Amino acid sequence: MSKNTGKAQKINYSKRKTACSFLIFALGVLLGVVSKSLDETAFNELPWLLQALDITNFLGRFSVWIFIAVCVSVYSSSAKRAALNVFLFFIGMVSSYYLYSAFAAGFFPKSYAAVWFGITAVSPVLAFICWFAKGNGRISVVISGIIIGALFSQAVTLLQGVRITYIPEVVLWLASLWILRRKPKEFALEIVISLITAVILQLFVPYWG
């Protein structure tokens, strides 16, 4: 392989990564607008399926955004790229949501916006860590177990009788089990860690479960 060929491949690879990051940002913008527009639509005006799935409340919770961020993280090319991509996604999603809210809906909830911009600020660090969930070793098992537990805690209430919260969140939890799947012994440890994580979140984080 010539030096020029290798250089061209590096440039093309860099362009692909840049394009991918831009698409992730655009996805965030789109989902932010869709989420807020659904907020502004009367429940009985939504299609039957969206009513049945209670899609407005579903998008107002954490699970779907955690799941998307995890997918972006673990399928990024590196931990640094995961941090960048997830940050771009949240910048796009949160900014478009609250810009739509302020200028189209005429309402800007400062307290909720502060929470989501805070999440956006820390998202690169969390994404950097999440990238290692697909790796090998105990640290990766612990990270993946915490991720699965966070999603499980949103899907199922554990402390006041076990009950399913939202069917779509159960689907996301099952999808996370598939994405972060491991060999049987590691999988068993993953499940134990996830259950401990779910209980801790529901005990100590207000309005989490």
Are the C-beta atoms of 86 and 67 separated by less than 8 Å? no
Listed residue (184, 176, 128) closest to 150, CA to CA: 176
Q: Which two tokens stand for residue 11?
A: 């440039």
Q: How far apart are CA 96 and CA 208, in angstroms?
A: 24
pLDDT at 159: 83
For residue 153, what pLDDT is reported?
94
- In the chain, where does DSSP find H-type helix? 3-39, 48-52, 55-59, 63-74, 79-103, 110-130, 138-155, 167-179, 184-204
Nearest to 154 by CA among 117, 208, 73: 208
Contacts of 147 (CB under 8 A, 6+ apart): 66, 70, 130, 133, 176, 180
Q: pLDDT tens per residue, the chain (209 residues)?
A: 555 565 666 777 788 889 999 999 999 999 999 999 998 887 777 788 888 878 888 888 899 999 999 999 999 999 999 999 999 999 999 999 999 999 887 888 888 899 999 999 999 999 999 999 999 999 999 999 999 999 999 999 888 778 888 889 999 999 999 999 999 999 999 999 999 999 999 999 877 76
Domain edges within the chain: 1-61+78-130, 135-209
Question: What 3-state class would DSSP assign to 191?
Answer: helix
Q: Name the pTM for this structure.
A: 0.91
pLDDT at 189: 96
Q: Please give the full DSSP string across 57-84, using - where no structure is assigned.
A: HHHTSSHHHHHHHHHHHHTSSSHHHHHH
